[in-house]
Amino acid sequence: MNIAKKTLVLALLAGIGFSAVAQERVYLIDQRDVVAKSGFGLCWRDGYWTPAAAAADKAGCECDKDLLPKETCEPKAAAPAGAGAAPAGVKPSGEKITVAADALFDFNKAVLRPAGKQKLDELVSKAQAIKLEVILAVGHTDRIGGDAYNQKLSEKRAAAVKTYLVGKGVEANRVYTEGKGEKQPVTTGKCNNLGKDSGKNKKLVECLQPDRRVEIEVIGTK
């Protein structure tokens, strides 16, 4: 951990002015409403940061312009005279869909099952019904297996979702993927004391099923 990061962490722990303001902001903001930056000029993200959320944050283009859709950070051309203006106050809305990985993939695999493709077809239909801004697919695994292996598996699953969506006509630059590995379980401690962490432990595999998931967020305007 470099000195700049240590300093920021200490500031956070001491409560002297940095905050990750609600979930509307996904960067650390100081008391002046200015984004906190590292010694290298990089913006500090909070735990809610995703490309989709960054696109909606007013500091997104300042901090992560290269990760956002081109049109998000470029001024829109003036509409021709007489052209109907977009309704005032219309903002992109998001819908987060959590799909059990077991519905998309076989256990410990990253190849889409037929039933998984059907689920994604439904998602494509929803995306086609709106003016799509961005889709974010985040893969998660359970705790069975090594950290590095699970991280890679979650990334492969998210990438498989993107490949399928693009094959169905969604623009590749509108789909972002991320793998969280086993870092964000939803079962917390309820699956403890079920025996050895092994894929052969059927009770444990069944209990940890909610952790094996792909969260897909669709952002756009109707």
Is residue 147 very low, low, confident or very high in pLDDT (cuts 50, 70, 90)?
Answer: very high
Separation between Cα atoms, residue 131 and residue 220, nearest integer Å: 5
Return the minimum-mean-pLDDT range out of 49-53, 113-117, 146-150.
Answer: 49-53
Answer yes or no: are the C-beta atoms of 19 and 33 closer than 8 Å.
Answer: no
Domain parsing of the chain, residue ranges: 3-68, 93-221
Burial of 189 (0-12, 13-18, 19+ CB in 10 A): exposed
Residue 4: pLDDT over 50: no
Question: Which residue's structure tokens are 């410990």?
Answer: 108
Q: What is the DSSP string of 25-78?
A: --B-B-TTS-B-B-TTSPBPB-TT--HHHHHHSTTHHHHHGGGS-HHHHSPPPP
Write b or e for each residue in 149-162: b if 16 or more Cβ atoms lie within 10 A of its Cβ, otherwise e. Answer: ebbbbbbbbbbbbb
> Is residue 49 within 8 Å of 180, Cβ to Cβ?
no
pLDDT at 144: 92
Domain covering 93-221 in this structure, CATH number: 3.30.1330.60
Q: Residue 62: what pLDDT?
A: 86
Structure-model confidence comparison of residues 2 and 188, the more confident one? 188
pTM above 0.85, yes or no: no
Mean pLDDT rounded to a whole number for the chain: 77
pLDDT of residue 40: 66
Who wins on pLDDT, 179 or 54?
Answer: 179
* Cα 37 off chain centre by: 22
What is the share, in percent, of the chain residues with pLDDT greater than 70? 77
Taking 50 as the threshold, does the pLDDT of residue 102 lie above it? yes
Q: Please, which residues have CB within 8 angstroms of residue 169's CB and are 6 or more apart in sequence?
A: 124, 128
Give the residue with greater pLDDT, 74 vs 2.
74
pLDDT category, 66, cuts 50, 70, 90? Answer: confident
Q: What is the DSSP string of 84-132?
A: PPPPTT---EEEEEEEEHHHHB-TT--SBPHHHHHHHHHHHHHHHTSEE
Determine the Cα angle at 94 with ends 123 and 186, to 5°: 80
pLDDT of residue 76: 60
Name the residue with higher pLDDT: 193 or 18: 193
Q: What would the pLDDT profile of 77-91 be if each residue is shown by its tens digit? A: 554 554 444 455 555
Specify the higher pLDDT residue, 105 or 203.
203
- At residue 167, the pLDDT reads 94
